Amino acid sequence: MWCYNTQIMTLPDVEPKRSQSKKFRRQVWLQIYLPLALGIFTLAILVGGLLLNQTGTESVGADASLTMILIPVLVLGLIFLVLLIALSYLVARLVGYLPTPMSRIHRRLMLLDRTTQRLARSISRLFMYPGALLAAIAAALRGLASIFKRSI
């Protein structure tokens, strides 16, 4: 292998030991296994209750499962909705503060726009005037030639 300072770079033979502390295992249990187990347990109770009441069919079990899946999606949607409302409120508050700084920026942009248009107009004239002059001369010569043409 090529490395800087002509030293060979080696990879460790043993994978580093993962943190297996009591705190880490407890955190994994609380964040991963507990919510998963509670969701499965709640779904099992719901489906079991439907089957014991003799109203449970495959369709009802599927509907219950779909409801359990949709609840977290709805909660995330509500979080995003609250975030969107907060951003809208922030923008509405900023509108009152923005006109003064934005008017300065607008004036500078308008000045830049006028300067750019003036420069573009002067550059384009360099290319348009010779063509226009040649077209005018050609039209004048055609007009003179048509006077001296014989009419039949």
Give every CB contact of residue 66 below 8 A, 6+ residues apart in sequence: none
Encoding tokens for residue 123?
Answer: 């550059």
User: Residue written as tokens 């063509």?
Assistant: 131
Burial label for 71, CB within 10 Å (0-12, 13-18, 19+), is: exposed
Taking the C-alpha atoms of residue 127 and residue 112, their distance in angstroms, rounded to an integer, is 23
Chain-wide mean pLDDT for the chain? 81
pLDDT 10s digits, 94-107: 877 777 777 888 89
Residue 151 above 70 pLDDT?
no
Encoding tokens for residue 43?
Answer: 């779904």
Q: Which of 31-35, 51-55, 141-145 has the lowest mean pLDDT?
A: 51-55
What's the pLDDT score for residue 1? 46
pLDDT 10s digits, 79-129: 999 999 999 999 888 877 777 777 888 899 999 999 999 999 999 888 899
Q: Which of 115-124, 127-136, 142-151 has the lowest mean pLDDT?
A: 142-151
Overall pTM surpassing 0.85 (yes/no): no
